[in-house]
Amino acid sequence: MAKYKLTYFDIHGGRGEPIRIALHAAKQNFEDNRISFPEFGEMRKQFRFSAVPTLEIDGKLITQSNAISRYVGKLAGLYPDDPLQALYCDEALGAVEDLTHYCVQTFGLKGDELKQAREQLMNGRLTTFINGFAELLERGGGQYLADQQLTIADLKLFTQLRAFRSGAADHIPADFVDKLAPVFVDYQNRIEAEPVVANYYASLAQT
């Protein structure tokens, strides 16, 4: 049996969360190596491309969150076999990753500079992507993004929406997504209630 070690920040969210959920869903024992942001600053040169998450498989280092997500999604049965549905899944994974990139550009800013950057994000890229995700959901049938069932793409989008709707992002109102695309209120509730997701968060509460 392969030995897995996932390294990511010690947070509930971000690029590492869908991977953690999928590994848990796959019933794969893995080392959940959670690091702080200061630790990452000290260690980042140790990581290929100076970024996390990383996944070690029998000691071999793998990078790139979407590549890792697809791999663990297949382990968990959360990645489509059908080529077209896999394409739909990949499109959504890539779009969430692109949005994450734009959001990360505002990290570290403070005061008026942060407020201005977040307002610009809401008036531009964030609105474009949320509307685009709504189109992907409609194409997928209104319940899931691809394959008429839960996929790793849903886990990635769910994680991002959950962060926005929690109000954790300064200067982005918690109801911003709700007003722009109300469909995501039910969507987030649906994904959160999926057994693999609910079981993952229940397991965290027990530790």
119 and 66 in a single domain? The answer is: no
Over the chain, what is the mean pLDDT?
A: 95
Please write the tens of the pLDDT for every residue from 142-155: 999 999 999 999 99
110 and 169 in a single domain? The answer is: yes
15 and 106 in a single domain? The answer is: no
pLDDT, average across residues 44-57: 94
Residues 6+ apart with CB under 8 A from 157: 92, 96, 133, 145
Whole-angstrom Cα distance, residue 130 to residue 98? Answer: 12
116 and 161 in a single domain? The answer is: yes
pLDDT, average across residues 158-162: 96
The predicted pLDDT at position 137 comes to: 98
* pLDDT range class, residue 207, cuts 50, 70, 90: low
The predicted pLDDT at position 92 comes to: 98
Q: Which of 42, 132, 45 has its CA nearest to residue 91?
A: 132
Structural domain tally of the chain? 2
Segments forming the whole domain that contains residue 146? 83-194
Please write the tens of the pLDDT for every residue from 77-89: 999 999 999 999 9
62 and 100 in a single domain? The answer is: no
Please write the tens of the pLDDT for every residue from 95-108: 999 999 999 999 98
